[in-house]
């Protein structure tokens, strides 16, 4: 049975094109079209779609306000259609903060030309979130009748394990941007990831001492879908005098990363800016990798930032894999990285290099992810030293002086 979709857009042209694109997938079916935010609220309540596409600039009620109102009544995945302008990026971040799960760049030429790339992205995004939310709703309904199971799962989730094991693995390093190398190792230590709850991080100083890499001199955070909100939650509790420079690799187009940096600078105690070529790494400064380009570290200039043109051979621009491999080569055992929510597995190959060089890696747990893709990849590969929810992650980091 197809997942049902509500389209919200004030342009009749976009309404029709989106309807055609959505209905071209056997797994999706448009069940309604709203022309403004107020209509969207009413139709979402009446039709109860599995997923909603939402424009942001509309008469009567804007998209951000509509997102907030819809989510008060019912949890449903809402995907924003976003202009590639800076203003569009700023409003998109407001929508994500309000509860939208993701965004798709709204490009007139791509939609009018029936771009296969755009069509695939729309299909993949809508199906992924519709399936995920429906599965969660079914699980919640089932577990509501099984309180003992919930209690057991909670205890298991909050358990701290410290066992380690050795296991062989080998894999190619990331290609592109000067990283065309390969490595393999038959005796790399792969620890069973430690699972740390928010209570553990707040109440156990000794545990925090164990989990935090005291010799780290840089922190790199990689994220994709759900990342802007997750990054904010991790950084919001850190003091202005935080001891490490922080570099954020977030999958986003240009303009969006600049807007993200400005938002972080506004809402966090830390200073934040979009990274530029030659930027120095300063404790307490957050540098956001620019969209459409690649960020690396110069090992000959105290790890200064290098910004390189995006290469079409590399899927993600910026790429977490490239940044992690580069920080591992520049900082070795002093490199510290965190993988947050996101589709796919970007970061897993770079994490292998980081671990080979002696760096430390944390990853976000499943329950607090919008999409458990990137963190799952590193955890399943045995590369994550610690698996935490967002609250525990921020609390633990705040102990790092």
Catalytic residue list contains 182: no
Q: Which of 346, 363, 384, 385 is catalytic?
A: 346
346 is catalytic: yes
Among 35, 102, 251, 321, the active-site one is 251
d(CA 214, CA 159): 23
SS (H, E, C) the chain: CCEEEEEECCCHHHHHHHHHHHHCCCCEEEEEEECCHHHHHHHHHHHCCCEEEECCCCCCCCHHHHHHHHHHHCCCCEEEEECCCHHHHHHHHHHHHHCCCEEEECCHHHHHCCCHHHHHHHHHHHHHHHHHHHHHHHHHHHHCCCHHHHHHHHHHHCCCCCCEEECCEEEECCCCCCCCCEEEECCCEEECCEEECHHHHHHCHHHHHHHCCCCCCEEEEEECCCHHHHHHHHHCCCCCCCCCCEEEEECCCCCHHHHHHHHHHHHCCCEEEECCCCCCCCCCEEEECCCCEEEEEECCCCCEEEEEECCCCCCCCCCHHHHHHHHHHHHHHHEEEEECCECCCCCHHHHHHHHHCCCEEEEECHHHCCCECHHHHHHHCCCCCEEECHHHHHHHHCCCC
- From the candidates 25, 83, 201, 224, give the one annotated as an active-site residue: 224
**Is 186 a known active-site residue?**
no
| Token representation of residue 69 | 């109102």
The C-alpha atoms of residue 286 and residue 248 are separated, in whole angstroms, by 7
The CA distances from residue 384 to 34, 57, 190, 359, in Å, are 44, 41, 8, 11
Instruction: Tell me the catalytic residues.
Output: 224, 251, 346
């Amino acid at each position: 049975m197809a997942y049902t979709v509500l389209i919200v857009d004030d342009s009749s042209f976009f309404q029709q094109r989106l309807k055609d694109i959505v209905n071209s997938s056997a797994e999706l079916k448009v069940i309604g079209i709203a022309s403004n935010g107020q209509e969207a609220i009413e139709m979402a309540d009446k039709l109860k779609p599995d997923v909603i596409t939402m424009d942001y600039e509309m008469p009567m009620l804007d998209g951000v306000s509509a997102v907030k109102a819809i989510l008060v009544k019912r949890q449903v995945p809402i995907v924003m259609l976003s202009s590639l302008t800076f203003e569009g990026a700023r409003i998109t971040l407001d929508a994500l903060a309000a509860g939208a799960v993701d965004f798709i760049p709204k490009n007139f030429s791509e939609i009018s030309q029936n771009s296969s790339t755009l069509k695939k992205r729309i299909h993949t995004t809508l199906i992924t979130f519709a399936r995920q939310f429906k599965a969660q709703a079914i699980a919640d309904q089932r577990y509501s009748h099984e309180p003992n199971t919930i209690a057991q799962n909670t205890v298991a989730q909050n358990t701290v394990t410290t066992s380690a094991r050795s296991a062989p693995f080998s894999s190619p390093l990331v290609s592109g941007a000067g990283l065309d190398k390969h490595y393999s190792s038959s005796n790399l230590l792969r620890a069973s990831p430690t699972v740390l709850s928010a209570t553990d991080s707040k109440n156990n100083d000794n545990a925090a001492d164990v989990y935090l890499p005291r010799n780290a001199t840089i922190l790199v955070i990689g994220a994709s879908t759900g990342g802007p909100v997750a990054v904010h939650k991790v950084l919001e509790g850190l003091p202005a005098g935080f001891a490490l420079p922080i570099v954020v690799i977030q999958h986003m187009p240009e303009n969006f990363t600049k807007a993200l940096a400005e938002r972080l600078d506004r809402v966090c105690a830390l200073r934040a800016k979009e990274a530029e070529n030659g930027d120095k790494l300063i404790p307490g400064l957050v540098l956001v990798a620019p969209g459409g380009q690649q960020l690396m570290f110069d090992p000959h200039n105290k790890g200064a930032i290098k910004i390189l043109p995006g290469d079409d051979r590399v899927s993600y621009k910026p790429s977490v894999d490239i940044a992690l491999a580069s920080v591992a080569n520049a900082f070795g055992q002093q490199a510290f990285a965190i993988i947050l929510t996101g589709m796919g597995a970007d970061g897993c190959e770079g994490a292998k290099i980081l671990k080979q060089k002696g760096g430390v890696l944390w990853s976000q747990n499943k329950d607090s992810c919008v999409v458990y893709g990137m963190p799952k990849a590193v955890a399943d590969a045995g590369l994550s030293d610690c698996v935490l929810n967002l609250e525990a992650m921020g609390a633990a980091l705040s102990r790092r002086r």
